[in-house]
Structures are given as structure tokens and as C-alpha cells.
């Protein structure tokens, strides 16, 4: 009898976890709506409001807005002030509404409908065939979502914090250096660097047409003449050891052929050049990742199946690193195999990433 009770308690607890995770998925959907419809931005602008105030401001249906507001209060994202009034706290505004905030996160959910809809429906076939989806197969919102996810760090930390942490690099950039961003995405990192260091020359490389379209638009909007973007599938890195700095931000683990790319980066760097890597803070094995006690690890494995592992297996001979496949021990081994001799982890704080300075 006691054993049966323990089993029942265990099953109830497990079911509670499942429904808690389901609640999280519902919250993600509601956050996407709040960002997409401008609800959070309006709340930040208007201050304390009723559902009618908010609906009228955005020309939306009050009944739908009211239900959304009630759910946001129940989930702890908004505050209820009584008398039908709702308000966004400063902390919530920094995370959910203010795109110029260094901790803005809502933009990272831009492509959730695609991942949880069309992409998810296509994954059973990937499980059967072994062949994943390319980044562009995820749709145009994927490029926009990744751009909005990482833009706060690029805008607030790359120039003032990260570049000074690289040995001698700030001085070289000020004097005039040649820089490449491999897997540049929408080019936000390069836009920030090109504005800060006008004497230097910057080149972005990517194979995503969706991302490159956004990158070229961002360049045009910034009015920069020291920045160019290249389709890496036809115009790859030069092998003439001409770059002072090569960067790769959260992309090596996505690549079908990371070993080939790492060797190309080595050949493109000057003998005294630097490769600046940002990638996921993780271990090499499941045991190591469990030992990290990092609450983001389950999310990383899920994101890998939906996006990163899928991209890295989008060709039949893809290496298949996946989101948690390029941790420090793997990065050390793969860079050494490609001919790099120096590897240093940088003391840069980030909830998801580790940062490395790698030298020939």
C-alpha cells in the first residue's frame, strides 16, 4: 500500500511537471502575441491602463486584449492594480518592451510560430531520414528572430566590453584592421564595429539569403562604406592570411561542416591575428551538462532539435554538432586540429554563452 502511494505521488508530481511545461509553452505564445501586436510597447508608453484603453490605442478588440491581459497577470508578466487597471513594471519593460535595453529578450521569440508550427510538423521526416532543414528552410522570421535575440549584446557589450578584452585588438581596430564575421547573420555586430572603428574594413559571410538580405538592409540604413557582405556559398573566406580579426558568434555549432570552416578561418588569419568565438556554455557530454545545473540546458536541447542540429544535419554528411555540441573542450580540440596553438577563455559574463580568444 505504501509503495502504491509513493508511485501515485511520483506520477502526480510528474504530471505536474508536464503541465508546468505546457504552461510555459502557452506563455511563450502569449509573449509572441504581446511583442508582435505591440501590446508590450504600448503598455510601456501608456503606463497604467484598462483593457479598453489598450485596445483603443492599438485598434484591437477589447475582449481579446482583456483575456490576454488577465493571462499576463496570472503568469506574473504584468501587474494588476485593481479597478480593471494593468501596468508593466520597469523590469518587465526592460525585458519585454524596450528594444534598446541591454536585457531585451522578447525579440528572440520572433520565429517561435514557425518553429512550433511548420518546422515541427516537418521534423518527423527528419527523424526518419536523418536529413535536417537549412536555416532558410525555417522561414524569414528565423533571420529576424536571431537578429533580435543577439542585438542587445552586440549593441551594448561588443564594442565597450568584448573588444577591449581581446589582446591589443582595440588599438589595431582604431589604426585600421581587416575584420571578418563568419556566420554574420543580419550583420548587427559588424554594423556596430564599423560605426565604432571607421578606419577598419569589415566583411560579413553567411550562406543564409534571408540573413544576408537583412544584413544589407541594416548596412544601408547605417550608411556605412567600410562594410561588405558576402554569400559564403559562392564567395568564401580568402586563404591569403589577410584578416587581423575573425569573429564567429553562436554559429559554429549550426554549421554542416564546422571542421572545414575552422580550417578556412585559420588560413584567413594573419600570423598575429585573432579568432573571437562566442558559443554556448555547455559540456561535451550529457553527464557534464547535467552537472552544470544550468536551467537553460533543457531549452538548449529542444532548440537544437528544432533549429541548430537540424541545420548542422541539413546535408547528408553534416557533422551534426547541434546547440550544445561546441562547448569549451570540443572547441579546444577542433581549433588545435586546425592548427591554432593558443586558446583562452575570456571573462565575459553572459547567461548563455562562453567567449574564447583563439590565436594561430
Report residue 253's pLDDT band, with 50, 70 and 90 as the boundaries. very high
* Interior angle at CA 91, CA 85 and CA 95, nearest 5: 105
pLDDT tens readout for residues 201-240: 999 999 999 999 999 999 999 999 999 999 999 999 999 9
CA-based torsion, 35, 36, 37, 38: positive or negative: positive
Region for residue 191 given its phi and psi (left: phi exceeds 0; alpha: psi -120 to 50; beta: otherwise) = alpha
Q: What per-residue confidence (pLDDT) applies to 1?
A: 41
Q: What per-residue confidence (pLDDT) applies to 37?
A: 97
Environment class of 228 (CB within 10 Å of its CB; exposed 0-12, middle 13-18, buried 19+): middle
Residue 269, CA atoms < 13 Å, CB-side half-sphere:
24
Residue 229, CA atoms < 13 Å, CB-side half-sphere:
26
In whole angstroms, what is the distance from residue 147 CA to residue 185 CA? 7
Q: What is the CA radius of gyration of the chain?
A: 23
CATH 1.10.10.10 domain residues, the chain: 2-97
In whole angstroms, what is the distance from residue 58 CA to residue 66 CA? 13
Q: Which helix (H) or strand (E) holds 181?
A: strand 178-182
Residue 47 has pLDDT above 60, yes or no: yes
Q: How many CB atoms lie within 10 A of CB 270?
A: 16
Q: Which helix (H) or strand (E) holds 2?
A: helix 2-36
- Identify which of 110, 92, 82 has the alpha carbon closest to the alpha carbon of residue 41: 92
CATH 3.40.50.150 domain residues, the chain: 112-359
The size of the chain, in residues, is 360
* Contact partners, residue 172, CB within 8 Å, separation at least 6: 244, 245
Q: What per-residue confidence (pLDDT) applies to 8?
A: 78
Q: Tell me 89's DSSP state.
A: -
Residue 255 has pLDDT above 60, yes or no: yes
Environment class of 189 (CB within 10 Å of its CB; exposed 0-12, middle 13-18, buried 19+): buried
Burial 101-129 (b: 16+ CB within 10 A, else e): eeebbbbbbbbbbbbeeebeeeeeebeee
Burial 28-47 (b: 16+ CB within 10 A, else e): eebbbbbbeeebbbbbbeee
- Identify which of 190, 184, 240, 239 has the alpha carbon closest to the alpha carbon of residue 207: 184
Q: What per-residue confidence (pLDDT) applies to 130?
A: 97
In whole angstroms, what is the distance from residue 182 CA to residue 224 CA? 19
* Interior angle at CA 64, CA 105 and CA 77, nearest 5: 30
pLDDT tens readout for residues 298-340: 999 999 999 999 999 999 999 999 999 999 999 999 999 999 9
The three-class DSSP label of residue 60 is coil
Is the CATH number 2.60.120.10 carried by domain 2-97? no
Report residue 7's pLDDT band, with 50, 70 and 90 as the boundaries. confident
> Beta strand pairing status for 85-87 and 201-206?
unpaired
Q: What per-residue confidence (pLDDT) applies to 4?
A: 54
In whole angstroms, what is the distance from residue 277 CA to residue 7 CA? 47
pLDDT tens readout for residues 124-172: 999 999 999 999 999 899 999 999 999 999 999 999 999 999 999 999 9
Partners of 229 in the beta sheet?
204
Report residue 6's pLDDT band, with 50, 70 and 90 as the boundaries. low
pLDDT tens readout for residues 181-197: 999 999 999 999 999 99
Name the fold adopted by 112-359: Rossmann fold (3.40.50)
The three-class DSSP label of residue 109 is helix
Please state the pTM of the whole predicted model: 0.92
Amino acid at each position: 500500500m505504501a509503495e502504491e502511494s509513493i508511485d501515485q505521488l511520483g506520477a502526480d508530481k510528474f504530471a505536474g511537471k508536464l503541465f508546468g511545461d505546457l504552461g510555459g509553452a502557452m506563455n511563450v505564445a502569449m509573449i509572441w502575441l504581446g511583442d508582435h501586436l505591440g501590446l508590450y510597447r504600448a503598455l510601456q508608453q501608456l503606463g497604467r491602463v484598462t483593457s479598453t484603453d489598450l485596445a483603443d490605442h492599438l485598434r484591437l478588440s477589447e475582449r481579446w486584449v482583456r483575456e490576454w491581459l488577465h493571462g499576463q497577470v496570472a503568469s506574473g508578466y504584468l501587474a494588476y492594480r485593481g479597478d480593471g487597471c494593468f501596468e508593466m513594471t520597469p523590469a518587465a519593460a526592460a525585458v519585454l518592451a524596450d528594444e534598446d535595453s541591454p536585457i531585451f529578450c522578447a525579440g528572440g521569440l520572433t520565429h517561435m510560430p514557425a518553429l512550433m508550427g511548420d518546422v515541427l510538423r516537418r521534423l518527423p521526416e527528419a527523424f526518419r531520414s536523418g536529413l535536417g532543414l537549412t536555416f532558410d528552410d525555417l522561414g524569414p522570421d528565423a533571420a529576424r528572430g536571431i537578429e533580435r535575440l543577439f542585438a542587445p549584446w552586440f549593441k551594448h557589450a561588443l564594442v565597450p566590453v568584448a573588444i577591449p578584452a581581446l589582446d591589443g585588438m582595440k588599438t589595431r581596430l582604431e589604426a585600421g584592421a581587416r575584420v571578418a564575421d563568419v556566420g554574420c547573420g543580419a550583420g548587427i555586430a559588424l554594423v556596430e564595429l564599423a560605426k565604432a572603428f571607421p578606419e577598419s574594413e569589415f566583411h560579413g559571410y553567411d550562406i543564409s539569403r534571408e540573413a544576408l538580405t537583412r544584413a544589407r538592409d541594416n548596412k544601408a540604413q547605417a550608411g556605412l562604406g567600410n562594410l561588405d557582405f558576402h554569400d559564403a556559398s559562392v564567395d568564401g573566406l580568402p586563404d591569403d592570411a589577410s584578416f587581423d580579426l575573425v569573429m564567429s558568434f553562436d554559429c559554429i555549432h549550426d554549421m554542416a561542416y564546422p571542421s572545414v570552416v575552422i580550417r578556412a578561418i585559420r588560413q584567413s588569419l594573419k600570423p598575429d591575428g585573432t579568432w573571437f568565438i562566442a558559443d554556448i556554455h555547455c559540456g561535451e557530454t550529457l553527464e557534464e551538462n547535467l552537472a552544470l545545473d544550468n536551467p537553460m540546458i533543457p531549452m538548449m536541447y529542444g532548440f537544437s532539435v528544432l533549429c541548430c542540429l537540424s541545420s548542422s544535419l541539413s546535408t547528408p554528411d553534416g557533422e551534426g554538432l547541434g546547440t550544445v555540441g561546441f562547448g569549451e573542450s570540443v572547441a579546444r580540440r577542433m581549433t588545435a586540429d586546425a592548427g591554432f596553438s593558443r586558446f583562452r577563455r575570456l571573462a565575459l559574463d553572459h547567461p548563455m554563452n562562453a567567449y574564447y580568444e583563439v590565436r594561430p
